[in-house]
Structure 1
Amino acid sequence: MGIFSYKHIEYSNNLWWQFTFAGDAPRFLRATVGAVVVILVISTAKLLRPVTPEFSLPASSDLEKIHSITAESRNTSANLAFLGDKSLLFSGSGNSFIMYGVEGRSWIAMGDPIGPNEETAELAWRFLEMCDRYNGWTVFYEAGTENLQLYSDLGLTFVKLGEEARVLLETFSLKGHKHKDMRHVLNKLDREGCSFEIMPPETVSVILPELKTVSDAWLEEKKTGEKGFSPGFFNDEYLKRFPAAVVKREGKIIAFTNIWTVAGKEELSIDLMRYLPDAPHGTMDYLFIRLILWGKQEGYKWFNLGMAPLSGLEDHALAPLWSRLGAFVFRHGEHFYNCQGLRQYKEKFDPEWQPKYVAYPCGLSLPRILTNIASLISRGPAGILTK
């Protein structure tokens, strides 16, 4: 209509680019060009905007696929994949995988790639490419020292998160004055009628209702909810995959933990730990000590006690800001999380401490990335401020 309305005006190409300087240019032309500019800007923005990814949690077939991979892993934390709350990225051969979650712009791999060492680099680069495709930040959370050079090649930097405690079972012993408190705990709870048992996976399926009762009571007493991503949570299908260690009193289960193992009895570890509020004092110590002794008897090499967050960070005046801040929280942050107390508790088992890192893109993204990690673990931002 605009063209016909102004057909009495002599047409010139100059009308399209001189109209902004000529006050008598037809309003129709000015409006048309303005509309075209707006459309071009919106269209360009949509073209440049990364495609919104569609995430899918692993199907039961995926979990069965990773069963053989985790069985050959040297790291018990590979079993976190069976929680089913993380997406999986497989290598080209299908013999390796990365488990990851996405929060905000952070694409967070839980630990290092799982699988044969010769596929680690290829899989890490695939993960980086996928993150880049969606304009995401590539993050490896709780990474070990063995792949730090690879992450540096990916253009990532890293900071220390804390230290992981591993007990060498061959040398572990309750003899001597140093471990008299452990002997006292075992003798005391034995006298009170407590006993320790290992339940195979097929038996765990039968006692799940009893374990659920213990778990619910523990959550209620702690005034907390289930976490996720890096710690486990109570889930029937997850727990049925593993043996469990239980403490009984008068035939009733008062405490339990699920047991992680790896190939060649290289490592033994636990994930979920729950006990009844009225369980005798020292019940969890009793469970830990009995399980460590059982692992030694069964020929396992290491018992993994898990990480002590912010442990081992330098507080020297010339240390990086993150290290000094983390060391301060480690010493004085017991109101939020008793990192120092956790370190001291694990120290009594005489572990060897190994550093753990978070690898992330260079720049000022670390605070947001750490917040995103906390949100994933807490199952949402609201959970960060709760226990």
Structure 2
Amino acid sequence: MERFKLLLKKNGTKLLKLIFIILIVGVIISSGVRELKSIDYAKTISIIREFPISSILIFTVLGMIAVSSMSLYDFAIAKYLNLNIKAITIFSITFVANTINNISGLGGLTGASIRTMLFKNSTDTKEEIIDYNLLLIPATGIGLSIMMIISLVKYQYIVPIVEKYRLITIAIAIFLIYFLIYFFIDKIFYKLNKELINQRNPGRTILRTKLLLFSFIDWMVAFSLFFIIVRQFNKILNFQIIFIVFTLGSIAGILSLLPSGVGSFDLMVLLGFQYYGMMTEDVLAILILYRTFYYVIPLIIGIVFTLIVQSKSENKLIQFIKISRIKDFINKASVITNLLLSILILSSGVILLLSALIPGIIDRVKIASRLLSFPILQLSRQLSICVGILLIAISRQIRMKVKRSYKITMWLLLLGAIFTLIKGFDYEETIFLVLVLIILKMSKESFYRKSLPIDWFKSFLTMILAFIGILGYMKMGHKILRDFIKVEYFKTLILRGSSWNILGGIIAYGLLIIFVIYYELTKDRITKDSRYEEVDEEKLYKFLQEYEGNFSTHFIFLKDKHLFWSSNNKVLIQYEISHNLAIVLGDPIGDQQYFDEALIEFQDFIDEYGYKSVFYQASDKLLPFYHDHGYYFFKLGETGLVELDNFDINSPKSRDFRNILRRFEKDGFIFKFYNEGSIDENLLLSLKEVSDEWLDNREEMGFSLGWFNKEYLNKSKIGIIKNKETEDIIAFASVSPSYDNNNSASIDLMRFKKNVPSNTMTFLILNLLLKFKEDNYKLFNLGMAPLSNVGITQNAHIQERMAHLVFKYGKHFYSFDGLRKYKNKFDPRWEARYLIYEDFTLLPSSLIEVTWLIHSKKKRS
């Protein structure tokens, strides 16, 4: 149950996003299902197939101009910020970013993140990148607001659409309000993000005005392509009507946040043109052509362009850089390439599915049916469906650069090209698949990962969505084939093959399930890698004799974690994997001059298997080191360190402590201390009795907390309190060494029986402090005070301010404040502890996974 709750928390955001998308799709389907049923798909496909090559070339050029016009924003912003970037570099980067952003949607956020990734080497500060996106993202949609205002001049054309579809009123209002706040975006942003340096100055208003104009030009160029396509089907439709329908459709597409506004843009255009008398089949053909020449073709050209540029860059580098450095460059430079490749692979799968749905051109089908038997034609069609579904399923693995997926995808593309050629000589689809195969082959060096962590949640979700998708696909296929029955030649073929449709869907879904399960169960795992080492005590002790440990080192002997040794065996990292994270406990230990090299080795190792690193309870002294490696920080709290040289039991402020010591001695309680390896069986049984009573049927915790284990306790020092007369032990504490030449030690297990006298633990801690002071130790670690001094400053990050509220008002769940107050009695020096994480999106999942590891029963006995 606890596991389920943690998984629910971790995937809560994903589920909410999924629910939102499902609701949007549901609205689109419920609104458009009647219109979709009325479409004659055979007629639509015939219309598209009849377009001459000259028209296709014109549409291609217009589509490229439309996407290229988006670079106007970037030229203006780069000039304003005085960025030292060549014009050709700006254009090449923004062209790729814009083609991806058009496909992905999300209101410009995808394009912004890609620009950030590619421009970061050309800017001096993080603030410049933030400012770049702050100027760019709001500008991309403002042109639509202008178009909406222009549309309102002819409101009589809008009223009928709004009266029929009331929800569009909200969308119109949002874009009109957005126009009013556009020039105040800077003020709002810096008000919400006080930690950032305010970049505003008077010149920005002029720049924003320019960007507004460029946005209007950008959307008008896109509209020009749309308008010319519409004119191929309808020569008399009013210009204002086409303008208004395009504007309303674009607004609906942006607000839906769906990739390329799919469904929402199309439905609005379909309904708008239907109202003004256009044939449904013509509208569908317009939408297919517009999406092809505005989205798909520029994307393919962008991918090819990126690969050519990257290939040239790599060839130059090979002449100057050592072989060991080339892989690192390729991995970083290929981030965008692999994203583009995954989109291409996904598109290939979709094309195969659509190709299998639509009967081929009659003359080609006649030739194929004379050369091949009917079962072979049908089998190739069903196999095309299977390959298409597998390509869609594996596209994420391509994006994540998994070597195994590269090989599988090469075979799938080859088979897909063969099957689509056999089923009806559809050489267009075959050429496309072969081109994708060639592009994939050119990108071979970018694939380096051995596997990704098993994610059964995503796999299960894939199965559910695939099932729904295949049902919809089969239903759509039935509708399309029914339309083609009207064509006499296809009638016989379709009637003979109708029984294959259901069979094909069942086979495809079954194959997908088998593929996913087999792929997950047979892939390489980090647990099988020789670098994923168990604890070798002999090797560890030898290492600790040469290098100092830290407050977390002793937890290695819990043996619930694994060890990563640097290649020169001079640095050691203790960690454990949990889902997609490799969670390190404490800082690395060993020779500090090799920390950089060791961390890079560790990151490379876990990255081969798709894991991200997180450091739990990292110290503040190494923050510059983590910062240099691009990590983010979250303050977990503070640990209390008693400086034993300054601890004086005879000082005036220790009067209460002396009273406690005298009272317990008077009441017949004594303190006894045991060094490592001195616990006999009788003492162990007595300690176990205390521990069990303290646990009271609760589960032991681990990872960053010790648990009751004979082997582990024998490596610790033990302090006990017992009744002098009865010899009953009422409390004990274990103390873990820091392996730093007896300079410091940490409190670990602290357990006591029920109904012990008040201040029992204070009596125990005082005796431990006195004992370690007597043994010339310098520091005694009282442990963490979670969330202590977190988020207390005015400009603290919002997540830390929220943590401060938990610390202040969360006493009903856990006494955060009380724990710090108790430890403060011993006058410790407080030292911050941090959660260090690679990606800023990992904070919630990192906290959840750490909690899961601490409460996990793995390896615990």
Contact 1:205 1:240 in 2 (8 A): no
Q: Paired residue for 2:694?
A: 218
CA 195–129 in structure 1, closer or farther in 2 if over 3 Å, else same = same
Does residue 54 of the first structure (1) align with residue 488 of the second (2)? no
Does residue 255 of the first structure (1) align with residue 744 of the second (2)? no
- Which residue, 807, 821, 833 being the options, matches 1:356? 833
Q: Paired residue for 1:234?
A: 708
* Residue 150 of structure 1: how far off its partner (Å): 2.2
Q: Paired residue for 1:270?
A: 747
- Which residue, 314, 329, 334 being the options, matches 2:806? 329
Q: How does 1:366-377 map to 2 (within 5 A)?
A: 366-377=843-854
CA 375–37 in structure 1, closer or farther in 2 if over 3 Å, else same = same
Matched residues, percent identical?
33
Does residue 318 of the first structure (1) align with residue 318 of the second (2)? no
* Residue 110 of structure 1: how far off its partner (Å): 0.2
Provide the C-alpha distance between the structure 1 equivalents of 2:405 and 2:829, rounded to a whole number of angstroms: 52
Provide the C-alpha distance between the structure 2 equivalents of 1:190 and 1:111, rounded to a whole number of angstroms: 38
CA 364–283 in structure 1, closer or farther in 2 if over 3 Å, else same = same
Provide the C-alpha distance between the structure 2 equivalents of 1:106 and 1:39, rounded to a whole number of angstroms: 27
Superposition RMSD in Å: 2.5
Normalising by structure 1, report the TM-score. Answer: 0.86
Provide the C-alpha distance between the structure 1 equivalents of 2:857 and 2:578, rounded to a whole number of angstroms: 9
Q: Paired residue for 2:249?
A: none
Q: Paired residue for 1:5?
A: none
Provide the C-alpha distance between the structure 2 equivalents of 1:287 and 1:267, rounded to a whole number of angstroms: 18
Normalising by structure 2, report the TM-score. Answer: 0.40
Q: Paired residue for 2:551?
A: 76
Q: How does 1:1-387 map to 2 (within 5 A)?
A: 20=358, 22=360, 24=362, 25=365, 27-28=377-378, 29-41=380-392, 45=397, 47=405, 49-50=451-452, 51-54=524-527, 59=534, 62-70=536-544, 72-206=547-681, 207-220=683-696, 224-250=698-724, 251-261=727-737, 262-379=739-856
Provide the C-alpha distance between the structure 1 equivalents of 2:355 and 2:718, rounded to a whole number of angstroms: 80
> What whole-Å deviation, never above 9, does each CA across 1:38-62 have from its counterpart, x for those lacking one?
45555664616524322798656x1
CA 339–39 in structure 1, closer or farther in 2 if over 3 Å, else same = closer
Letter in 1 for 2:649: L
| Structure with the higher strand share, 1 or 2 | 1
SS in 1 for 2:526: coil
Provide the C-alpha distance between the structure 2 equivalents of 1:163 and 1:37, rounded to a whole number of angstroms: 54
Provide the C-alpha distance between the structure 2 equivalents of 1:295 and 1:18, rounded to a whole number of angstroms: 78
Provide the C-alpha distance between the structure 2 equivalents of 1:314 and 1:268, rounded to a whole number of angstroms: 29
Provide the C-alpha distance between the structure 1 equivalents of 2:800 and 2:653, rounded to a whole number of angstroms: 32
Contact 1:74 1:267 in 2 (8 A): no
CA 210–95 in structure 1, closer or farther in 2 if over 3 Å, else same = farther
Provide the C-alpha distance between the structure 2 equivalents of 1:55 and 1:308, rounded to a whole number of angstroms: 37
Contact 1:257 1:271 in 2 (8 A): yes
Q: Which runs of 5+ in 1 are unaligned?
A: 1-15, 382-387
Letter in 2 for 1:53: I
CA 55–227 in structure 1, closer or farther in 2 if over 3 Å, else same = farther
* Residue 317 of structure 1: how far off its partner (Å): 4.2
Provide the C-alpha distance between the structure 2 equivalents of 1:42 and 1:334, rounded to a whole number of angstroms: 47
Contact 1:58 1:86 in 2 (8 A): no
* Residue 232 of structure 1: how far off its partner (Å): 0.5
* Residue 318 of structure 1: how far off its partner (Å): 2.8
* Residue 74 of structure 1: how far off its partner (Å): 4.6
Provide the C-alpha distance between the structure 2 equivalents of 1:183 and 1:193, rounded to a whole number of angstroms: 16
* Residue 130 of structure 1: how far off its partner (Å): 2.1
User: Of the two, which has the highest radius of gyration?
Assistant: 2
Provide the C-alpha distance between the structure 1 equivalents of 2:665 and 2:595, rounded to a whole number of angstroms: 47
> What whole-Å deviation, never above 9, does each CA across 1:144-198 have from its counterpart, x for those lacking one?
1222222223221112111111111111112344322211111111011111111
SS in 1 for 2:632: strand
> What whole-Å deviation, never above 9, does each CA across 1:313-365 have from its counterpart, x for those lacking one?
13344321121011111111112221111111111111111111111023322
SS in 2 for 1:202: coil
CA 59–365 in structure 1, closer or farther in 2 if over 3 Å, else same = closer
Provide the C-alpha distance between the structure 2 equivalents of 1:311 and 1:18, rounded to a whole number of angstroms: 61
CA 53–196 in structure 1, closer or farther in 2 if over 3 Å, else same = same
Provide the C-alpha distance between the structure 2 equivalents of 1:380 and 1:240, rounded to a whole number of angstroms: 21
Contact 1:128 1:154 in 2 (8 A): no
* Residue 235 of structure 1: how far off its partner (Å): 0.8
Higher RCO (CA-CA < 8 Å; seq separation 6+): 1
Letter in 2 for 1:239: L
CA 58–228 in structure 1, closer or farther in 2 if over 3 Å, else same = farther
CA 85–226 in structure 1, closer or farther in 2 if over 3 Å, else same = same
Q: Paired residue for 2:262?
A: none
* Residue 113 of structure 1: how far off its partner (Å): 0.7
Letter in 1 for 2:754: P
Contact 1:186 1:286 in 2 (8 A): yes
CA 340–38 in structure 1, closer or farther in 2 if over 3 Å, else same = same
> What whole-Å deviation, never above 9, does each CA across 1:16-49 have from its counterpart, x for those lacking one?
9988462643642433433343455556646165
Provide the C-alpha distance between the structure 1 equivalents of 2:754 and 2:542, rounded to a whole number of angstroms: 38
Contact 1:69 1:114 in 2 (8 A): no
Provide the C-alpha distance between the structure 2 equivalents of 1:231 and 1:247, rounded to a whole number of angstroms: 22
CA 58–131 in structure 1, closer or farther in 2 if over 3 Å, else same = closer
* Residue 68 of structure 1: how far off its partner (Å): 3.4
* Count of residue pairs the alignment pairs up: 363
CA 331–34 in structure 1, closer or farther in 2 if over 3 Å, else same = same
Comparing 101-110 with 31-40, greater Cα deviation is found at: 31-40
Letter in 1 for 2:817: Q
Q: Which runs of 5+ in 2 are unaligned?
A: 1-351, 370-376, 398-403, 407-450, 453-523
Letter in 2 for 1:64: E
Letter in 1 for 2:657: M
Provide the C-alpha distance between the structure 2 equivalents of 1:288 and 1:58, rounded to a whole number of angstroms: 36
